[in-house]
Structure 1
């Protein structure tokens, strides 16, 4: 079973509450913006909600002036024992 991609904005408690109220988050892939809260805190919240993986990106509006890393994406799996490509 493959996970669907769910945009959880900044991964704040309110963002995640809205996602949880409208979707089954188990094994889904979260798309989350860096910023506002520490990354490890966000990852722990996503893991607790059952997400199977995370795509992290920097919103150009949040990037420091003069930095051109806004187009870089980062991938994190929350299921180290399985294959995130097939949702196991």
Structure 2
């Protein structure tokens, strides 16, 4: 699996001067690609709704979803939210 060097440093935060859309890609780390476990956009959207994180979710590939936020602060808060450890 190739990771672009600019993404290897860890999550990037949005600054207050950034213009939207504010998008965060979420993927699950899987040690064995043939394991068959993946993130489904509908189930991840339900997970966000149950945890009161209501924003737009769509699938952008196998085992990856995109979450769009209305502002930079909401996207940054999501990146640091401990709830993501549950997925």
Q: Shared topology, TM-score over 0.5?
A: no
TM-score, normalisation: structure 1: 0.29
Higher helix share: 2
Higher relative contact order (CA 8 A, sep 6+): 2
TM-score, normalisation: structure 2: 0.29
